[in-house]
Amino acid sequence: MINTCALILAGLVAAPLAGGLVNGLDRILTARFQARVGPPVVQPFYDVVKLLGKEKTVVNVWQAFCAYCYLAATAISVVLFFLQSDLLLILFIQAVGAVFLVIGALSSTSPYSQVGAQRELLQILSYEPLLVLVTVGIYLETGSFKIGQVYAWDEPLLLKLPFLFVVLGYALTIKLRKSPFDLSTSHHGHQELVKGLLTDYSGPFLALTEIGHWFEVVLILGLCSLFWATSWIGMIIIVATTYFLEIVIDNVSARMNWRWMLGYVWAMGLTLSVVNLVWLYVR
């Protein structure tokens, strides 16, 4: 019971702190790539605290409700990951949170929110099948959907699931809202005059969506760690390398349209997934 409570506390407290620090490091590295100094590493926390202190203003009550649901879903999914629960359950809960974020945007009559919500739905349609296929590949190799069983596996999954790790990278790029897949909202000011999906979120409710995004970052990076779960050093290296490559791709790529995203991600992602799954099945 004590271990369970400690893991729950780590998921609820340590995970968003880690996600905020990762976001801060992301900003610094992006600034360095663009020959800028960049903000301090704790700037994301300053931003959230400032937002939490602002007046609560929403378009309608549905928007506030959806912000809370999004945060709750992302927090629950991370806690379940820390508890080494079922991968399929975790993916289902995080998908529910993503849908609530879209519903909140659709509840507004703003054309920017409407377009952002539609683009977000297309992004969900792009990465959710890939995440399911990655989970299926993990099951075929380990014989279980349980994260505890994956961490107990005696061989790095990357050696048997290299193509599925690349597929997970596509999903990671979309979830992190990085170019060329930052269609619904972007952290970069040069991309859009308004923030698409999050246009009508403000104050504390915008802060909730940002904290929820931190939870999602930790969750996706946690999925990456499963591919080298035989040692802590291996997990740290694979997570750090993957995120660094995501930042590099973000800074060298231009944003594409949704047709290109859907066609490219499905064509490459599904092809690589099928090849890796067939290899696992016939070997």
**If we measure between CA atoms, which residue out of 128, 102, 74, 95 comes closest to residue 196?**
102
> Tokens standing for 160?
């048997």
Q: How many helices (H) and strands (E) does the chain have?
A: 11, 0
**If we measure between CA atoms, which residue out of 16, 99, 117, 98 comes closest to residue 59?**
117
What's the pTM value of the predicted model, to 2 decimals? 0.91
Contacts of 200 (CB under 8 A, 6+ apart): 58, 59, 63, 105, 108, 110, 112, 113
DSSP assignment of 141-200: HHS-SBHHHHHT-SS-GGGT-HHHHHHHHHHHHHHTT-TTS--S--S-TTT-SS-GGGTT
Report the SS3 class of residue 91: helix
Write down the pLDDT at residue 189. Answer: 53
Write down the pLDDT at residue 186. Answer: 67
- Cα–Cα dist 166/163, whole Å: 5
> Tokens standing for 17?
């702190």
CB atoms within 10 A of CB 262: 14
11, 78 contact by CB (below 8 A): yes
Tens digit of pLDDT at every position of the chain (283 positions)? 778 888 888 889 999 999 999 999 999 998 888 888 888 999 999 999 999 998 888 888 888 899 999 999 999 999 999 999 999 999 999 999 999 999 988 888 888 888 888 888 889 989 999 999 999 999 989 988 999 899 988 889 999 999 999 999 999 998 888 888 887 776 655 455 567 788 888 889 989 999 999 999 999 999 999 999 888 999 999 999 999 999 998 888 877 787 888 888 889 999 999 999 888 877 7
Write down the pLDDT at residue 194. Answer: 62
Q: What are phi and psi of 146, to 5 degrees?
A: -75, 130
